[in-house]
Amino acid sequence: MENDLVIPRHIAIIMDGNGRWAQKHSLERCEGHRMGAEALKKLIENMRDLPEVKYMTFYAFSTENWKRSEEEVSALMHLLVEFLDMNLSIFMKNDLRLLVTGRLEGMPEEPRSKLKEAIEKTKDNKGLCVIIALNYGGRSEIADAAKAIARKAACGELDPEKVDEKLFAEYLYNPQVPDPDLLIRTSGELRLSNFLLWEISYSEIYVTDTLWPDFDKNELMEAIKSFNKRSRRFGGR
Ligand code: IPE
Ligand code: IPE
Ligand code: MG
């Protein structure tokens, strides 16, 4: 059965539920985030036996997550630095490429420079492309694209009449990455929380009650099986 599955080329995941996981285990929220980072590491390491998946985008920090306490935000930034330090070797060993989506310039200096370094080091890797969404907001991404287009139009480099969906998409953060086929949200919430608003127009959505730190390759296979039961019509018949 598994051999016959259609495997999505791009899977995007809203990694939600670290706080609830911590609460369930009577731990601090930060411990939930730590276990969440561990789950992410294990999952990308295990993707080697699903080579048909070429891109995975993970929502790690939204433009709205700055509203959290200073303590939680700084713990998350610290974890990110630790994640990059500890796992760069895993990226190299598994031929994984790292990309980021979001306003990188709004990130604190240390994670920003580590991210740039890891992106540079992994840029020639040919396996799975791991895209981490950081300081990411779907509306910011669309607004940033609109700003870049408006600037070009204002100085006469672009004819406003030429702006269509295809051209607009070229101004998004990672225009070379195809739209997600499958969007997964863990922890049961039925909302997008400002994730990839443009790109998920026709993605299939799968929501599981499993909390992110408990999400693993088996859970991913369940999502892929559900994806295989969908009839994607893209508005046609
Ligand atoms: C997701 O877990 C991680 C981030 C948003 C950074 P949460 O921290 O949102 O966990 P819950 O939703 O409170 O359980
Ligand atoms: C979405 O989760 C953002 C990430 C997973 C990084 P949130 O926990 O921030 O979303 P809401 O607040 O439940 O909408
Ligand atoms: Mg949450």
Whether 1 has a pLDDT exceeding 60, the answer reads no
Instruction: Give mean pLDDT, residues 181-190.
Output: 98
Contacts of 69 (CB under 8 A, 6+ apart): none
Whether 2 has a pLDDT exceeding 70, the answer reads no
| Mean pLDDT for the chain overall | 97
Whether 3 has a pLDDT exceeding 80, the answer reads no
| pTM of the shown model | 0.98
CA 236 vs CA 165, 229, 232: distances in Å: 18, 18, 9
Instruction: Give mean pLDDT, residues 203-216.
Output: 98
Question: In the chain, how many H helices and how many E strands?
Answer: 7, 6
Q: Which atom of ligand 1 is nearest to the CA of 16?
A: 1
Instruction: Give mean pLDDT, residues 25-54.
Output: 97
Active-site residue numbers?
16, 65
- Percent with pLDDT over 90 in the chain: 98
Contacts of 64 (CB under 8 A, 6+ apart): 137, 193, 194
Q: Tell which residue, 52, 44, 143, has the closest CA to residue 86.
A: 44
The bound ligand whose nearest atom lies closest to the alpha carbon of 21 is 1
Asked whether 36 and 82 are in contact (CB, 8 A), the reply is no
Quickly state the pLDDT bin for 182 (edges 50, 70, 90).
Answer: very high
b/e for 149-182, b at 16 or more Cβ within 10 A?
beeeeeeeebeeeebeeeeeeebbbeeebebbbb
For residue 207, what are the β-bridge partners? 185
Instruction: Give mean pLDDT, residues 215-233.
Output: 97
Virtual torsion, Cα 103, 106, 110, 113, nearest 10 deg: 40
Q: Which domains does the chain have, with CATH numbers?
A: 2-137+178-227 (3.40.1180.10)
Quickly state the pLDDT bin for 104 (edges 50, 70, 90).
Answer: very high
Distance (Å) from CA 63 to ligand 2 centroid:
10
Instruction: Give mean pLDDT, residues 17-32.
Output: 98
Quickly state the pLDDT bin for 135 (edges 50, 70, 90).
Answer: very high
Q: What is the pLDDT of residue 237?
A: 85
Which residues does a 6 A CB cutoff place in the pocket of ligand 2?
A: 14-16, 59-62, 65, 189, 191, 193
Whether 5 has a pLDDT exceeding 60, the answer reads yes
